[in-house]
Amino acid sequence: MMGMVAVTWTNYLRKRLPLTIRSLHTLKGNELDQILMSPPLASLDLPDIWSSNSASRIIPAIHKSFDDQTTVVLDGKLISMEIRSRIAAKVREMKQCLGKVPGLAVILVGQRRDSQTYVRNKIMACEEVGIKSLVTELPTDCAEMDVQNAIMRFNKDPSIHGILVQLPLPQHLDEEKVLDALCLEKDVDGFHPVNMGNLAINGREPLFTPCTPKGCIELLIRSGVDIMGKKAVVIGRSNIVGLPTSLLLQRHHATVTVIHPFTENPEQITSKADIIVSAAGVPNLVRGNWIKPGATVIDVGTTPVEDSGCDDGYRLVGDVCHEEAIKVASAITPVPGGVGPMTVAMLLCNTLVSAKRMLNFN
């Protein structure tokens, strides 16, 4: 048994007041023309009809004996490159037909090195696929109104189809008020209450699905991992990753359990899961004894740890103890190089979808 470890999880929770919501059309059909393998969520909806023997039926084993297989490292970087290639082709087609390209605006507040790295990666990805990008950098001590004004300028700019506020924000800024200033139709991060609500409701399709959860599902599908009917555990319940990931897995008909800091015996619950998605932000939280032999493990954690030997002065460490997990799991994502590149690819996808919608480009 592991010793008890006191852990503080930082969840960027946004308590939103009721909003006056405009009437919006949800998406019908796959606007990405098969760039992604994930189907439209509404197409997955099935009626909940319980058969008389549902309680007693035996579900076949999900994985073959782990002794018969080698752990597969799910290469998010390689898969994301294929997705980016398809996005680039669509952007070129748009430019040839309309003389316009999708535009993404990024607002960076402060000097966090990890945030600067993330923004740099996103801008480089935009350049690779031909998406126009603009970055507004604001000092750590800027006023809330400065951030809101930057957002409002991009809201009104017709050449910008997606706006991203890099999180986390400095503590003195009210994240709720800042993000509420975003135009819903340009919320390519997918955090608006309308997008989150549509994600949770059967028959509805959000304008945008949050990028990291969307990337996790795409990674599972492209890797041939069955989701329907499987037991999935999501570790962490943040509005950014944990909550939308649990909703997405449910829309794909997994049986989902969410682990949070107040969960009793989390290792026992997690050890029964066929799919584990860890997004707690706690280095090496998930040990080998948390993992069912043959389970698929998606490690979303990317905690920066000081390391003078690295170019940026730090290295990223995941939630999962990779050395232990790789001896038990059937498939696992590396950190870095797993979920991170998929998140960026989904951001590009969302920006392209937004531009196609706004420019009426089919």
What is the rounded CA–CA span in Å between residue 72 and residue 74? 6
Find the catalytic residue in 90, 122, 231, 292: 122
Find the catalytic residue in 90, 132, 148, 166: 166
The set of long-range contacts for 118-123, using a CB threshold of 8 Å and a minimum separation of 24, is 118/166, 119/166, 121/340, 121/344, 122/164, 122/344, 122/347
What φ, ψ does residue 24 adopt, rounded to 5°? Answer: -130, 145
Question: In the annotation, is 166 catalytic?
Answer: yes
Q: Which residues pair with 250 in a beta bridge?
A: none
Question: In the annotation, is 148 catalytic?
Answer: no
Find the catalytic residue in 148, 186, 187, 189: 189
Question: In the annotation, is 189 catalytic?
Answer: yes
Report yes or no: 245 and 279 within 8 Å, Cβ to Cβ: yes
Known catalytic residues are: 122, 166, 189
